[in-house]
A and B are shown apart, each in its own frame.
Chain A
Amino acid sequence: MCKLLLYSFTIYLHSLAERLESKRNYNYTKYHPMEEIYKWMEDVERGNPELVSSSVYGLTFEERNITLLKLGLENPEGREKKAIWMDCGIHAREWIAPAFCQWFVKEILQSYKTNEKLTEMLQNLDMYVTPVVNVDGYMFTWTNESNRLWRKSRSLPPSDCGCRGVDLNRNFNANWGTVGVSYNCCDNTYCGTSPVSEPEAKAVTDFVGSRLNQILCFLTIHSSGQLILLPYGHPEISAPNYDELVAVGKEAAAEMKKVHGMDYTVGTSPQVLYKNSGSSRDWARLVGIPFSYTFELRDKGEFGHLLPEDQIQPACEEAYAGALSIITFVHDKAFNNVTTVPNAAVTTVTGITTVTGVAITIWSTIMAFSLTTGVLM
């Protein structure tokens, strides 16, 4: 009996050690296949129960879990929390995007305890992070080298056409099927048979759609091109808060440039890239989420989607600075009664250092205004 107990205990310790090892040793500067990402999510949740919980909010076409991590702390006054949304890997070949979602989670985990601003934000808002939306497509890009540049989902074609996959970022219900799409199922911008015909797009739509009053901003991460895109993809439609979207976007780009000197261009898709419709970013804005951006990460064409692993860290560091800039803005706008758009002459009130040692200016000129003691929004 004692031997059995001892044996079981040893097994337990060993598996505990393995789990701690795998979390501690997870290499955020390498690309990981989906099995490793699933395991990493489990480890992160198990290792940080006070901050992290996971949720499977849909199934892909091939019936795999679409999983998000929810990062958040209890609100000390029991107030209702808001949220921000971040998704990565809508397009299978854009490997730097899932790498960034993992990096983002890691940064939050490793710095929130010693970062008052981050703690405050996590008490006021939850961060929903989906490391890989298009799991089927992402896994397909890992099957062999000739599939590395697959972009779409892996759904079976409609009866009158012969190729698999839908461009998930043309499938959302936002001016669906109008511009910047193909109706040919063999093409890489094929928008699907109808709006939200794809389970992956439906999963995001349902989850976010049921939390519209909560969600302050929607960030969707892609590569490449070094762009921060605001809604809308249609050249003749403008978001009502266009000016504010531009200002907040430019502030994010400025923060990104401070990290490693890289330029990120801010604008609508029809301005700086191409017309498109049915994107997740457009849908989010259309249903009322005030701040919605597509991040197109490195690079500008030299490696394109095949970004070398030695660029994962710098690409993620700058993307983190940009994302945090936007998240901080929407947080402060919602929770500190401040509504002024940041402008070029930013006054630093507090600097906050992350674990990577890069000082990120989070507070901006808006904090120079006296805070009212009125009711929080």
Chain B
Amino acid sequence: MATGELNPSHYPAQRAANVVKHYLNTRYGSPYRWVGLHKVHSANAEEVAESGRKYHLEISVQEMTGNTTEKCSAEVLFPALENQRSPQVQASCEALLTANTTAQEEALYQQYRRNHTLLSGHNLPDSYGHIDPDMKPLWHLGGVASSFVMLKESTENTLYNMAQVANVTQLETENDQLRFNYHVLLHDMVSQEIIHWKLLVTWSPAEGVKVLQMEELPKCEHCEVPPKPN
């Protein structure tokens, strides 16, 4: 694989930057803050003996919920095969995602807590790319929660995005955390596969998004989840 200065528009830099995007979502994401990759400005890769391959990246990210972009510096270490599988990321952004979402988040949180009937939704977006405005925060939350999985599953040979929230059901609030069961469809650009995951997700403005349980579902009813490739 390429080392040294990388072409920022070529796939190695783009895949590494995509991992940074997932990392930022796990740290800062919310129903009103869903981070997307805007551009890779520069990238560098090096072999780190006995650890794996490390990328240094200068990127811009944008909030899909707004129009602002932010610059970030990041490092992504893809572990050598013998080690644990998930990439390790460090990132600092110049003024991360300063759009003040506190008021909206608080309002949404209170609204969902007060609901007498638990919320649910499916096919976000639907076949026509449509999402009801009321459902958008749950779609964003699904995207952020999916980033936990996509961060964990990413390698130099994958490029993950969430394709769709197949289903979301609100559960009873516990310990002041809103709770949801999500069934999400993830798309890996490299294999072109759609992978189904079930997630147990909690959120509050104070605690942020957490994924308590994640389970990959097999492709078809009688199938097994395939073993991870080496």
A225 at the interface (CB under 8 A from B): yes
Chain A residue with minimal CB distance to B188?
A188
Partner of B127, one of A188, A265, A302, A306: A306
B189 at the interface (CB under 8 A from A): yes
Contacts of B7 in A (CB 8 A): 271
B185 at the interface (CB under 8 A from A): yes
Q: Is the CB of B219 within 8 A of A186?
A: yes
A274 at the interface (CB under 8 A from B): yes
Q: Is the CB of B125 within 8 A of A301?
A: no
Query: What class of interface size applies to chain B in its complex with A?
Result: 20 to 34
A305 at the interface (CB under 8 A from B): yes
Q: Is the CB of B192 within 8 A of A306?
A: no
Chain A residue with minimal CB distance to B127?
A148
Partner of A304, one of B161, B219, B220: B161
Q: Is the CB of A273 within 8 A of B163?
A: no
Assembly CA distance A270 to B64 (angstroms) = 28
**Residues 317-370 (chain A) with a chain B CB within 8 angstroms:** none
B133 to chain A, nearest CB (A): 12
A145 at the interface (CB under 8 A from B): yes
Chain B residue with minimal CB distance to A263?
B39
**Residues 8-46 (chain B) with a chain A CB within 8 angstroms:** 9-11, 14, 18, 36-37, 39
Contacts of A120 in B (CB 8 A): none
Interface string of B185-227 (1 = CB under 8 A from A): 1010111111000000000000000000000000110010000
A307 at the interface (CB under 8 A from B): yes
Q: Is the CB of A302 within 8 A of B189?
A: no
Q: Is the CB of B64 within 8 A of A302?
A: yes
B228 at the interface (CB under 8 A from A): no
How many A residues face the partner with a CB closer than 8 A? 35
Q: Is the CB of B36 within 8 A of A265?
A: no
B63 to chain A, nearest CB (A): 11
**Residues 241-279 (chain A) with a chain B CB within 8 angstroms:** 263, 265, 267, 270-274
Chain A residues at the B interface, C-beta cutoff of 8 Å: 30-31, 141-142, 145, 148-149, 151, 163, 167, 182, 186-189, 225, 263, 265, 267, 270-274, 300-309, 311
Further contacts, 16 of them, CB under 8 A, given A151-B192, A182-B191, A270-B11: A31-B128, A142-B127, A145-B123, A149-B164, A167-B192, A188-B191, A188-B194, A189-B191, A225-B189, A265-B9, A303-B125, A303-B129, A306-B129, A308-B125, A308-B130, A309-B130
Query: Can you name 8 A-B residue pairings with CB atoms under 8 Å?
Result: A149-B164, A163-B220, A189-B192, A300-B36, A303-B129, A306-B126, A306-B163, A309-B130
Chain B residues at the A interface, C-beta cutoff of 8 Å: 7, 9-11, 14, 18, 36-37, 39, 64, 123, 125-130, 161, 163-164, 185, 187, 189-194, 219-220, 223
